[in-house]
């Protein structure tokens, strides 16, 4: 039987390992917001938090107080990261690129951070979605470090009722093939489930035996009941998913956990 419980904090709903976790976020519709909320909550609990990405991030979204740049992970760079971590969450990235973007690390560099830097939690944005609420991965996506211990697939629930097209979704042609619906058709809750069930869908790239959660983000009051029903279906049918969280990560409200 599916259990459900409300939590005031996102990190509580995720049931994190109390000692250490490497968390990778994939999908669309709230990865960066989820990363920042999680980092803020954990920092308030006096936990050492390291942020990074294996794709690109927007500088203005991350906030300049979080950013530490490194071209390569030299011994000196690693010492600086180690020294900074107890004070605030530290974002480790390669460099600024055009368009106000921050270039992330390779998966191998993320794994190097795991081996050589003392932290409690590392949060990795391991996918890109061009600010769209739903996506399907390309053949080279996502870029998930093998050291990941918690894999979180994100879907923006606000996409339900909207059309499958280039304005609303990322990689719509691939998405169309996976869910078996033509472009310009209306996206339904079951399409998110199909995307999670498909081997080339939102769970693609998950390291073996990794704990797996699904975040249904931006669930409005008017759609909460159908989102809850989708959460139950995901738990029953999506392979390896042990929990589904419904809520809004960019709003100070409770998160609903299904497990």
Averages of pLDDT over each 10 residues, the chain, 259 residues: 85 94 97 94 93 86 63 81 80 78 89 92 95 96 98 97 98 98 98 98 96 95 87 96 95 86
**What residue numbers bound the domain in which 15 lies?**
4-258
| Residue 90: per-residue pLDDT | 82
| Residue 83: per-residue pLDDT | 81
Cα separation, 47 vs 86, in Å, equals 8
Tell me how many domains the chain contains: 1
CATH number at residue 243: 3.40.50
Strands 121-125 and 21-27: parallel
Phi-psi region at 104: left, alpha or beta (left = phi > 0; alpha = psi -120 to 50): beta
């Amino acid at each position: 039987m599916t259990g459900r419980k409300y939590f005031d904090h996102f990190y509580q709903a995720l049931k994190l390992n109390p000692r250490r976790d490497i968390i990778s976020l994939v999908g669309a519709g709230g990865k960066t917001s989820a990363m920042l909320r999680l980092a803020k909550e954990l920092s308030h609990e006096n936990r050492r938090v390291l942020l990074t990405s294996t794709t690109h991030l927007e500088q203005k979204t991350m906030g300049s107080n979080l950013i530490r740049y490194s071209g390569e992970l030299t011994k000196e760079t690693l010492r600086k990261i180690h020294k900074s971590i107890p004070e605030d969450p530290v974002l480790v990235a390669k460099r600024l690129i055009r368009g106000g973007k921050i270039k992330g690390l390779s998966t191998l560099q993320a794994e190097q951070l795991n081996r050589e830097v003392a932290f409690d939690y590392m949060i990795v944005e391991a996918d890109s979605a061009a600010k769209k609420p739903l996506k399907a991965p390309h053949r080279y996506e996502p870029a998930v470090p093998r050291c990941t211990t918690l894999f979180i697939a994100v879907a923006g629930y606000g996409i339900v009722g909207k059309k499958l097209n280039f304005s609303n979704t990322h990689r719509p042609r691939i998405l169309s093939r996976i869910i078996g619906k033509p472009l310009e058709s209306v996206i339904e809750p079951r399409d998110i489930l199909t995307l999670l069930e498909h081997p080339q869908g939102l769970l693609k790239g998950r390291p073996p035996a990794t704990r797996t959660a699904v975040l249904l983000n931006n669930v409005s009051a008017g759609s909460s009941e159908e989102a809850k029903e989708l959460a139950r279906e995901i738990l029953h049918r999506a392979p390896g998913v042990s929990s589904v969280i419904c809520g809004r990560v960019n709003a100070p409200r409770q998160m609903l956990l299904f497990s």
